[in-house]
A = this chain, B = another copy of it.
């Protein structure tokens, strides 16, 4: 049974081949990890390789695949090449891939909830509850990601103390109020680690199971620290 219009096939083949470029870029776990990292802030190849546990050459190749799919862009700055997410629509798209996977794969929900249950922190605070508590003044919001990620975009009102510096900078946090820590997102453990540290020292602390992407996807603005100020 031939298709209705035979001359249609070349168009469809060409068009869907273009669409598949996006799919192919998303087909590797490591590339998805790199993409989510780049949703937090621009990074050099070397940083990305370390963060995603890849060799530099391998990271470079993955990044070039992402760039060929126009999901990220590269810019040479002096000695380093800085990669960043291509456009905010890509950020939203990456977020939606995660949401879709969480909605449809019980395996994913199990893997993460079991991991966090085994550690300490149970479910974590959702993004809406987070907003409510901060608005109501019930909690202080703590951003434990690396400083450059905070600078590139953080939830308004959040304090920045990167996880490795937390123990030495406890003085900056209020003693009595509840602290809600957040990090890159649901697959990131930094907020849970921060909560463990804080509770051990007698703080009231909880973790958010959401990150800046969830915040942004609600249509809410992030605060950005303009670079270049000393």
**Chain A residues close to B by CB (< 8 Å):** 1, 3-5, 7-9, 11-33, 50-51, 53, 70-71, 86-87, 89-90, 93, 96-98, 100-101, 103-105, 107-108, 111-112, 115, 163-164, 186-190, 193
Question: Which of chain B's residues has its CB closest to A51's CB?
Answer: B3
CB distance from A202 to the nearest CB of B (A): 23
Q: Determine the chain B residues whose CB is within 8 A of the CB of A107 once the complex forms.
A: 18
The distance in angstroms between the C-alpha atoms of A50 and B3, with both chains bound, is: 7
CB-CB under 8 A from A8, the residues of chain B are: 188-189
A19 to B4, Cβ gap below 8 A? Answer: no
A187 to B8, alpha carbons, bound, how many Å?
9
Interface contact B108-A100, CB-CB below 8 Å = no
23 pairs of residues in contact across A and B, judged by CB atoms under 8 Å: A1-B50, A7-B189, A8-B189, A11-B187, A12-B187, A13-B29, A14-B111, A15-B111, A16-B32, A18-B107, A18-B108, A19-B97, A20-B27, A21-B105, A22-B26, A23-B27, A23-B31, A27-B27, A71-B104, A86-B104, A87-B103, A93-B96, A96-B96
The A interface, classified by DSSP as helix, strand, loop or mixed, is helix
**Min C-beta distance of A43 to chain B, whole Å:** 14
Given the complex, which residues of B lie within 8 Å of A23, measured CB to CB?
A: 23-28, 31-32, 97
Pair B19/A29 contact, Cβ less than 8 Å: yes
Known A-B contacts A20-B27, A190-B4; the reply to A15 vs B108 at CB < 8 A is yes
With A50-B1, A96-B96, A193-B5 as contacts: A29 and B11 at CB distance below 8 Å: no
* Interface contact A16-B33, CB-CB below 8 Å: yes
Question: Please, how many angstroms separate the alpha-carbon atoms of A93 and B164 in the complex?
Answer: 38
- Cβ B105 vs Cβ A100 within 8 A: no
Distance, CA A7 to CA B101, complexed state (A): 23
Shortest CB–CB separation between residue A163 and chain B, in angstroms? 7
CB-CB < 8 A to A14: which residues of B? 111
Asked if B100 and A53 make an inter-chain contact with CB atoms under 8 angstroms apart, the answer reads no
Which residue of chain B has the shortest Cβ distance to A1 in the bound complex? B50
